[in-house]
Amino acid sequence: LSGAAGTAGLAAGCGSDAEHHLAPPPLDLSTPLRIPPLLHPAPEPDGVRRYELIMFVGQSALLPGKPTTTWGFNGSYLGPTLRASRGDKVAMTVRNALPEASTVHWHGMRLPAAMDGGPHQLIPAGTRWTPTWTVDQPAATTWYHPHPHGATSQHVYRGLAGLFLIDDDQDAELPTAYGTDDIPLILQDKKLTDRGQLDGDPLKGPFGILGDRILVNGTYNPCFAVTTTRVRLRLLNASNARMYHLAFTDRRRFHLIGTDGGLLTAPVDTDTLDLTPGERAEILVEFAPGDNVVLRTLDRGLDIATGDLDLIRFVAAADLRPAPEPPAILPGPAPIVPPDGARVRHFTLSGRDGINGRPMDMSRIDEVVPVNAVEIWEIENSTDTSHNFHIHEVAFQVLDAAGRPTGGHKDTVFTPARTTVRLAVRFGPFDDPVEPYMYHCHLLRHEDAGMMGQFVTITPGTEHAVPRSYAGVG
């Protein structure tokens, strides 16, 4: 990864953290929150929405007077918010103007494996990739980010990530004015050197970097001006390893209305929210005129959530436009109930050995799953440190002790040290015996180091015809 043009501050060997790391001064949380621009092209005569993304190296003003070299989509940091509705046909053109190969994975999207943007869909520098699919899933906050095997943590850390919002007509009773009362909050932690560069190497330490500066939508020290009595926040943890344990400084309560896979079936009243890397949540927060409140992350004493940090200030105007009451019920998807006799697969996260004792091998298919199956996946964290677990393409639900689905639909789940989490997993309809999907720890350092495996979904009864080694090209 060295030798990338224009990334001097990121290359290894620029000196140790201790010498060059610049500790953050106290924050006043006053910089207007950046809202990623919306990319929502009109359908063309053939009914297809066409999106263009270009990945390149740029300069960002994270600190005053000290431009930071960053990577972004269509801009120098992060990417535009893509938006499409259920039923839309989408066609992407992703150009790679980076100095090295990358990929773009649609995290949370239900789509054929060849369009998924995992490590096999490599986009060499100077080339483009043109996946197409039909959006067919409930309203949700999904996201996109690179997934080149072994380099995902670097590419995401430098800034490559964006949101992809999916709408469904059901959404109607919730705030939907993007940037006004429907606000994305992309949470990331960074370390900066005294020259204002992203500090060193996210591959250091047991988790990679846990930064001491929080960026929200790429804004350091941010503030959001509230203009309505209720705001919908779409939270994404796009950090490499940090877990957020979110709460407002005045401990005001809010409504959780959605998780990774879409809306819940009813709002949940709470005053804290946990998000591990890759997870999303949607919440409704009420404001009174003149409110001035900070959203923080609180220390939970966990290895991937270190310290209390301020994230963003909300300042409410003296006059707020009224917003509708939170609905008593929400149109989220029905619970995923595993059928009697559902197939159970067991996965042990075993530190340096990867999953089930084997580190990721691009040429090995680990699991073969029938299309449209509902299975129980048991994820056992046999280590003394935190991990989480993400499965591409699927929706799953956590099962409680009695085996009943609990919470909302998800695609990423926290797996604390020395625990087992049981999931009811619904697989998609996409039959492809060759191109695999990934499952992995979403602490990006761990994913890069091999805590990842591959599965294909195939027509039931054709298992015998599936090659157990990767037969694809690329």
> What residues line the site for ligand C2O (CB under 6 A)?
105, 107, 145, 147, 278, 390, 392, 438, 440, 442
Query: Least Å distance between CB 239 and ligand C2O?
Result: 12
Reference 215, options 244, 239, 180; nearest CA is 239
Query: Least Å distance between CB 105 and ligand C2O?
Result: 5
Q: Please check whether residue 432 is in contact with residue 114, taking contact to mean a CB–CB distance below 8 angstroms.
A: yes
Q: Which does 246 bind (CB under 5 to 8 A by kind): Cu ion, ligand C2O, none?
A: none
Beta partners for 141?
165
Query: Least Å distance between CB 172 and ligand C2O?
Result: 29
Q: Which does 149 bind (CB under 5 to 8 A by kind): Cu ion, ligand C2O, none?
A: none
Reference 245, options 67, 416, 459; nearest CA is 416
Q: Please check whether residue 415 is in contact with residue 381, taking contact to mean a CB–CB distance below 8 angstroms.
A: yes
Query: Least Å distance between CB 277 and ligand C2O?
Result: 8
What is the identity of the amino acid at 306? T
Q: Please check whether residue 142 is in contact with residue 91, taking contact to mean a CB–CB distance below 8 angstroms.
A: no
The token duo for 123 is 């986009």
Residues 372-401 binding Cu ion (CB under 5 A) are 387
81-99: string of b/e by CB count within 10 Å (b at 16+)?
bbbbebebbbbbebbbebb
Q: Which does 283 bind (CB under 5 to 8 A by kind): ligand C2O, Cu ion, none?
A: none
Q: Which is nearer to Cu ion, 81 or 152 (CB)?
A: 152
Q: Which does 409 bind (CB under 5 to 8 A by kind): Cu ion, ligand C2O, none?
A: none
421-450 footprint of Cu ion as x/- string (CB under 5 A): --------------------x-x--x----
Residues with Cβ within 8 Å of residue 473, at least 6 apart in sequence? none
The token duo for 303 is 């290895």
359-387: string of b/e by CB count within 10 Å (b at 16+)?
ebbeeebbbbbbbebbbbbebbbebebbb
Q: Which does 446 bind (CB under 5 to 8 A by kind): Cu ion, ligand C2O, none?
A: Cu ion
Query: Least Å distance between CB 143 and ligand C2O?
Result: 7
Q: Which is nearer to ligand C2O, 254 or 455 (CB)?
A: 455
Q: Which does 264 bind (CB under 5 to 8 A by kind): Cu ion, ligand C2O, none?
A: none
Q: Which is nearer to Cu ion, 387 or 390 (CB)?
A: 387
The token duo for 331 is 């149109």
> If you compute the radius of gyration of the chain from its CA atoms, what whole number of angstroms results?
21
Q: Which is nearer to Cu ion, 231 or 444 (CB)?
A: 444
Query: Least Å distance between CB 293 and Cu ion?
Result: 33
Q: Please check whether residue 261 is in contact with residue 409, taking contact to mean a CB–CB distance below 8 angstroms.
A: yes
| Residue 446: φ, ψ to 5° | -70, -40
Query: Least Å distance between CB 439 and ligand C2O?
Result: 8
Q: Which is nearer to Cu ion, 346 or 404 (CB)?
A: 346
Q: Please check whether residue 254 is in contact with residue 282, taking contact to mean a CB–CB distance below 8 angstroms.
A: no
Residue nearest ligand C2O, Cβ-based: 107
Beta partners for 438?
454
Provide the binding-site residues for Cu ion, judged by CB under 5 A. 387, 441, 443, 446
